Structure 1
Amino acid sequence: MTGAPPSPQLFFETANAFQRTEALKTAIELELFTAIAEGKQTAEDIGARCKASARGTRILCDFLVVHGLLTKHANRYALTPDSAVFLDKHSKAYVGGALRFLLLPSAVEGYKHLTEAVRKGGTARDEHSLTPEHPMWVEFARGMAPLMAMPAELLAKLLRAEEGAKWKVLSLAAGHGLYEVTLARHNRNAEVWAVDWANVLEVAKENAAAAAVAGRYHTIPGSAFDVEYGDGYDIALVVNFLHHFDQLTCEALLRRVQASLKPGGRAVIVEFVPNDDRVTPPLAASFSLIMLAGTPAGEAYTFKELQRMLGNSGFRSSELHPLPPTFFNVVIGTK
């Protein structure tokens, strides 16, 4: 017999994984990472800044050290590079607000019925994320925008927005609007038309105004499957949207996108894209479970599947671009 003997450790860690979620949520609520960034290093000093007991702070900080969110030396705590960038409220890249969406009761509820979802092959909830005008998407738009700032910048670089080509841009299920707003900010010759529910588009318009591109940001309220897009687009952004639907529904949407593009126009799809084995890389591969719990038929699609969808929808070519260091990939289909 070679290797380590069988161990129940993974079972125990998985059964208690909810503790990590609650510990992170508590640390963010207490502004614990921000306190450490401000120079508080001991449990006593951090606790005083967070209005928490020294004992409770010590135990929470030790737990966060165990799980890689803090470091500890001689009873003094410090931020990891990731925590310093993403969990300090003073950082421009702070993402703690994303928990507003990620831990919404409506988002978590599906997992309480996961057994039924596995048996059914889709969410067991009658009201789910695809319910028209679901208020969770307003929370998504407000809470997730900071997490999308980095991939939006990387996408603008990939598309060479700074070269200033005259672009007519369509954005479907725009949400917070960060992707198209970032394109417009880097390219003063880009004009944007964004599609989403009216209540969600209010958030996108706020972000467009904050980026000083409101004059080039137009909205089309309604369902991306029903509204008229217009035509003559150079770029159509389809960001984190296809994974909500089955392949035939995706193809129906992509045919509408293809029709809206001018010859040579590009559909720019941003997605979690697992490898063909569907178990790597871990984050992209795991995303299908989120869709199983929360949608009737969605999942994370491989590049081959997205390539086939684009081909079936009339696109003449498609290509895959990783977007490191993020966990997203970009698939570009050319008309």
Structure 2
Amino acid sequence: MADISPDLFMDAVLAYQQTAAIKAALELDLFSEIGKGSATAENLARATGSAARGVRILCDYLTARGHLEKHGDQYQLTESTAAFLDRSAPSWMGSVVEYLTAPEMMALFLSDPPAFVRNGGSIGLANNAPDHPIWVKFARAMGPSRVPLAKRIASELAVSSPRKVLDVAAGHGMFGIAIAQAVVDAQITAVDWDAVLSVAQQNADAAGVSGRYRILGGSAFDTDWGSGFDLVLLANFLHQLDKDGCVTLLRKARKSLVSGGRAVAVEFLLNEDRVSPRFSAMFAFQMLGSTPHGDTYTVREFEEMGRAAGFARVTAKSLPPTPQSLLLFEQA
């Protein structure tokens, strides 16, 4: 009986306050200021143009939540906070809040949560609506945090020296751009909505690969991709679809490949119990609220979908420390 507590329930009900605290700290660049040292509430208040009382209460809250450490009147970053929320860190990912906590996302989940549960998915197309403006926010917010993973994947795929690469639902474009940087003569074609591709084009320009970067606007399902590709990228896209949609897209990818070419997906994979790994299990709920039919799938389910699309083999490789995995769809 001593272990019975309402703490988990109260944490869930008040989770929006932790979201607010993180947003405030990031917008004030508080974590970066703490990383510079001399991090008392008074010093931080001067650096951020804030009230000392406000900064003190915010930092104490973040300490209680495990994002900071406090020694006397000095605040310090934890190792994880230093790695991901200090703007000077190469693995900084603070920009993701601009997408994950966007008003459109918050409204989808909090306006009427029982509705999408009863419906078995979002009411209407939600984020899957054509040209939804949330995807421009996604491209701008998520791009910087995807660079390390994109470069890691590109280094593995570069071994086969793909010369003609298709990046489907390219978004920020970082996965295709990383391959263009790793393979000096690779030509990249990026497919997405026109407004989203403007962000990908800017990123390609900044990366110095715009001469080998082509954009193709339109629906991934309806647009003619062309053919003769050595590699088709499906990064963080299949989870937005049901199994039939995944098979349709994988079949289209296979038909766009040269003999021996591969399709590659980046996904959150579930174990057969569907409640582990933890992040993948929770991500399925994000798909429930923000898409009509999206889900998280197991390796077995991806193998079945790959075979239904005509691929001979599907292999998965985890990508620690991220919760994602690389899926390779190979022809006979």
If the length of structure 2 is used for normalisation, what is the TM-score?
A: 0.96
CA contact (8 A) 2:162 2:231 kept: no
Of 124, 130, 133, 1:132 maps to: 130
Match status 1:187 vs 2:146 = no
Residue 87 (structure 2) aligns with = 89
Residue 322 (structure 2) aligns with = 326
Secondary structure, in 3 states, of the residue corresponding to 1:132?
Answer: coil
Q: How big is the shift at 1:136? A: 0.8
Of 65, 68, 71, 2:69 maps to: 71
Give, as a single letter, the amino acid of the residue that structure 2 aligns with 1:119. Answer: R
Q: Deviation per CA, 1:66-119, whole angstroms, max 9, x where unpaired?
A: 222111112211112222222122334322222111111111111122101111
Match status 1:172 vs 2:171 = no
- CA-atom RMSD, angstroms? 1.4
Taking the aligned partners of 1:77 and 1:91, their CA distance within structure 2 comes to 18
Residue 213 (structure 1) aligns with = 209
User: Where in structure 2 are the equivalents of 1:2-13 lying within 5 Å?
Assistant: 4-13=2-11
Match status 1:123 vs 2:122 = yes
CA contact (8 A) 2:125 2:292 kept: no
Taking the aligned partners of 1:185 and 1:295, their CA distance within structure 2 comes to 33
Give, as a single letter, the amino acid of the residue that structure 2 aligns with 1:116. Answer: A
CA contact (8 A) 1:272 1:329 kept: yes
Give, as a single letter, the amino acid of the residue that structure 2 aligns with 1:278. Answer: R
Q: Deviation per CA, 1:161-209, whole angstroms, max 9, x where unpaired?
A: 2x47252101100000000100110110211111001111111111111
CA contact (8 A) 1:106 1:128 kept: no
Residue 315 (structure 1) aligns with = 311
Residue 107 (structure 1) aligns with = 105
Give, as a single letter, the amino acid of the residue that structure 2 aligns with 1:137. Answer: W
Taking the aligned partners of 2:98 and 2:149, their CA distance within structure 1 comes to 20
Q: How big is the shift at 1:63? A: 1.2
Q: How big is the shift at 1:230? A: 1.1
CA contact (8 A) 1:193 1:219 kept: yes
Give, as a single letter, the amino acid of the residue that structure 2 aligns with 1:146. Answer: P
Q: Deviation per CA, 1:259-278, whole angstroms, max 9, x where unpaired?
A: 00111111100011111111
Structure 1 window deviating more from structure 2 (176-185 vs 43-52): it is 43-52
Q: Deviation per CA, 1:308-328, whole angstroms, max 9, x where unpaired?
A: 101100001010000111111
Secondary structure, in 3 states, of the residue corresponding to 2:270?
Answer: coil
Residue 274 (structure 1) aligns with = 270
Secondary structure, in 3 states, of the residue corresponding to 1:144?
Answer: helix
How many residue pairs match? The answer is 330
Give, as a single letter, the amino acid of the residue that structure 1 aligns with 2:140. Answer: R
Residue 290 (structure 1) aligns with = 286
Residue 145 (structure 1) aligns with = 143
Residue 21 (structure 1) aligns with = 19
Residue 59 (structure 2) aligns with = 61
CA contact (8 A) 1:25 1:99 kept: yes
Q: Deviation per CA, 1:139-160, whole angstroms, max 9, x where unpaired?
A: 111110011112111211222x
Secondary structure, in 3 states, of the residue corresponding to 1:118?
Answer: helix
Structure 1 moving runs of 4+ over 3 Å: none
Unaligned runs of 5+ in 2: none
CA contact (8 A) 1:164 1:187 kept: no
Residue 237 (structure 1) aligns with = 233
Taking the aligned partners of 1:81 and 1:168, their CA distance within structure 2 comes to 40
Q: 1:233 to 1:127 in 2, by over 3 A?
A: closer
Q: Deviation per CA, 1:16-62, whole angstroms, max 9, x where unpaired?
A: 11111010001111111111122231111111111122222111111
